[in-house]
A and B are shown apart, each in its own frame.
Chain A
Amino acid sequence: MEGYLVAIGIVVLINVLLALGLTLQYGRTGLINFGHVGFFAIGAYTSALLALQGVPLVISFVAAGAFAAVSAWPVGMVSLRLRDDYFAIVTLGFSETVRIVISSEKWLTNGMQGIPGLPRLYEGIGGGLPAQLAVLVTLALVVIASATMIQRITNSPFGRVIEAIRDNEEAVTALGKNPASFKLRVLAVGAGLAGVAGAFYAHYITFIVPDQFGPIVTFYVWMAIIIGGVGRISGTLVGTAILMLFLEGSRFIRDLIPAIPEVEMASIRLGVIGIALILFVTYRPQGLMGDYTQR
Chain B
Amino acid sequence: MSLEVRRVTKAFGGFCALDEVSIAVETDALFGIIGPNGAGKSTLFSVLSGFMPADAGEILLDGHSLSRLSPHARARAGMVRTFQVPREFRHLTVRENLMVAAPGQTGEHLASLFLRPGQVRREELRIAQQAEEIIEFLRLTTVAELPSGSLSGGQKKLLELGRALMVAPKMLLLDEPFAGVNPVLTGMIVDRIRELNARGIGFVIIEHELAALTRLVPRLAVMDRGRIIASGPPEKVLKDERVREAYLGAVT
A pairs with B: yes
- The listed residue (A174, A176, A182) touching B103 by CB distance below 8 A is A176
Complex CA–CA separation, A153 to B107 (angstroms): 9
- Distance in Å: Cβ of B170 to nearest Cβ of chain A: 12
* Residue of A160, A163, A166, A182 ringed by the most chain B CB atoms within 10 A: A160
- The listed residue (A152, A157, A178) touching B72 by CB distance below 8 A is A178
Complex CA–CA separation, A198 to B171 (angstroms): 50
* Residue of A158, A167, A178 ringed by the most chain B CB atoms within 10 A: A167
Q: Are A168 and B89 in contact (CB under 8 A)?
A: yes
Determine whether B188 belongs to the interface, using a CB cutoff of 8 Å to chain A: no
Determine whether B92 belongs to the interface, using a CB cutoff of 8 Å to chain A: yes
Determine whether B71 belongs to the interface, using a CB cutoff of 8 Å to chain A: yes
- Minimum CB distance partner of A167 in chain B: B89
Which residues does chain A contribute within 8 Å of B81, judged by CB atoms?
174
Please, what's the 1-or-0 string for B9-27, where 1 marks a CB less than 8 Å from any CB in chain A?
0000000000000000000
- Distance in Å: Cβ of B176 to nearest Cβ of chain A: 15
Q: Are B70 and A178 in contact (CB under 8 A)?
A: yes
B-facing residues in A137-185 (Cβ within 8 Å): 149, 152-153, 156-158, 160-161, 163-164, 166-168, 170-179, 182, 185
Q: Are B83 and A174 in contact (CB under 8 A)?
A: yes
Q: Are A174 and B91 in contact (CB under 8 A)?
A: no
Which residues does chain A contribute within 8 Å of B96, judged by CB atoms?
160, 163
Determine whether A293 belongs to the interface, using a CB cutoff of 8 Å to chain B: yes
Complex CA–CA separation, A178 to B100 (angstroms): 13
Which residues does chain A contribute within 8 Å of B61, judged by CB atoms?
none
Please, what's the 1-or-0 string for B104-121, where 1 marks a CB less than 8 Å from any CB in chain A?
011111100110000010
Which residues does chain A contribute within 8 Å of B97, judged by CB atoms?
164
Determine whether B75 belongs to the interface, using a CB cutoff of 8 Å to chain A: yes
Complex CA–CA separation, A185 to B76 (angstroms): 20
Determine whether B87 belongs to the interface, using a CB cutoff of 8 Å to chain A: yes
Q: Are A177 and B72 in contact (CB under 8 A)?
A: yes
Determine whether A189 belongs to the interface, using a CB cutoff of 8 Å to chain B: yes
Q: Are A176 and B76 in contact (CB under 8 A)?
A: yes
Complex CA–CA separation, A164 to B76 (angstroms): 17
Determine whether B163 belongs to the interface, using a CB cutoff of 8 Å to chain A: yes
Complex CA–CA separation, A293 to B82 (angstroms): 27
Determine whether B99 belongs to the interface, using a CB cutoff of 8 Å to chain A: yes
Complex CA–CA separation, A168 to B149 (angstroms): 12
Determine whether B167 belongs to the interface, using a CB cutoff of 8 Å to chain A: yes
Which residues does chain B contribute within 8 Å of A152, judged by CB atoms?
113-114
* Residue of B76, B101, B167 ringed by the most chain A CB atoms within 10 A: B101
- A168-B107 CB under 8 A given contacts A157-B120, A157-B124, A178-B72: no
Q: Are B80 and A168 in contact (CB under 8 A)?
A: no
Q: Are A160 and B99 in contact (CB under 8 A)?
A: yes
- Distance in Å: Cβ of A128 to nearest Cβ of chain B: 37
Complex CA–CA separation, A177 to B6 (angstroms): 27
Which residues does chain B contribute within 8 Å of A182, judged by CB atoms?
108
Q: Are B101 and A175 in contact (CB under 8 A)?
A: yes
Complex CA–CA separation, A189 to B111 (angstroms): 12
Determine whether B244 belongs to the interface, using a CB cutoff of 8 Å to chain A: no
- A170-B51 CB under 8 A given contacts A157-B108, A160-B100, A176-B80: yes
Q: Are B91 and A167 in contact (CB under 8 A)?
A: yes
Complex CA–CA separation, A38 to B120 (angstroms): 34
B-facing residues in A261-293 (Cβ within 8 Å): 293
Determine whether B90 belongs to the interface, using a CB cutoff of 8 Å to chain A: yes
Which residues does chain A contribute within 8 Å of B42, judged by CB atoms?
none
Given A157-B106, A158-B109, A158-B113, output 4 extra A-B contacts at Cβ < 8 Å: A164-B100, A178-B70, A182-B108, A185-B110
Sample (30) of A-B pairs whose CB atoms are under 8 Å apart = A149-B114, A153-B113, A157-B99, A157-B106, A157-B120, A158-B108, A158-B113, A161-B108, A163-B91, A164-B89, A164-B97, A166-B91, A167-B88, A167-B89, A168-B87, A168-B89, A168-B90, A170-B87, A172-B72, A173-B70, A173-B75, A174-B80, A174-B81, A175-B72, A175-B80, A175-B101, A176-B72, A176-B75, A176-B80, A178-B73
